[in-house]
Amino acid sequence: MCGGISISSKDKYSVRIQTENIAVARKYFTLLRKTFNIETEVSIRQNVSVRKSRVYMVLVKRHEDSLMILKAAKLLNKDMEVEENLSIVNNMVIQNTCCKRAFIRGAFLAAGSISDPQKFYHFEIVCTTIHKAEQLQAIINSFDLDAKIVARKKYYVVYIKEGAQIVDILNIMEAHVALMNLENVRILKDMRNEVNRKVNCETANIHKTVSAAVKQIEDIKYIQSTAGFESLSEGLAEMAELRLAQPDATLKELGMLLTPQVGKSGVNHRLRKLSNLADELRENKEEKHYD
């Protein structure tokens, strides 16, 4: 995904790997030395793109060393020639679970990225062909994940957007430090979201309670100024006077102040009767006005 093979006029192979990430370049250098016991050349050049970032190239010049790498990666056919279609990885390389894990890890190092979880969740690996993307998608999804593919300019991007699945794929790649960092961020975000949800819910309930209390007081004052409290039953008159005296009290608090005490549903029933009575008085006034 970030490598290439060069064939000289004398049919000699050389292998190059390039990346803008110095840590990835070091990883390639170390793996080649430890796995194959070969020396490589490392060069640095300035990218000519707008970002002007540095590009690190790990180069294996010796034909014999290159053959060793290509054989191990199953990129040579039985005639020891480079396979025509390098977009598809030989199934022999990824037949075991451990090999699939290593392949995903390598693909991510070569062409992957993960977003800042403080902002949003997004994991992706960029592929140069649809065939490579589909194979990578199948390998990832063999671990019960749901990776998808989207075309982006001339590339094909295999991506995961769900936070829990990104945690899973980090675990598959054995990126345990990154996994713990992401989990910590997810826990904090979930806690903040839960707190915000509760605050919003409580705020909405407070607004609802205040609005209801304001309406109740308006209705009670209208009854007081028109029919008067003497027109009410003893229970409704007591409720009306108590609500005016305790405009900020909850239904439960109002019920506890009544004699005898009444539950929330009983208080709500009396206040509703007062509001209905106020509405009837308003309607009667309007009818008389039209008459």
Q: Model confidence over 210-257: pLDDT tens digits? A: 899 999 999 999 999 999 999 999 999 999 999 999 998 989 999 999
In a domain, 218, yes or no: yes
pLDDT of residue 179: 93
User: Could you tell me the pLDDT band of residue 289, with boundaries at 50, 70 and 90?
Assistant: low
User: The whole model's pTM is what?
Assistant: 0.65
Whether residue 99 contacts residue 113, with contact meaning beta carbons closer than 8 Å, is answered with no
Reported as half-sphere exposure (CB side, CA atoms, 13 A), residue 30 has a value of: 6
- The pLDDT of residue 139 is above 90: yes
- Total tally of structural domains belonging to the chain: 3
Helix ranges (DSSP H) in 45-159: 63-72, 97-111, 130-141
In a domain, 140, yes or no: yes
State which residues form the domain around 100: 87-174
In a domain, 253, yes or no: yes
In a domain, 274, yes or no: yes
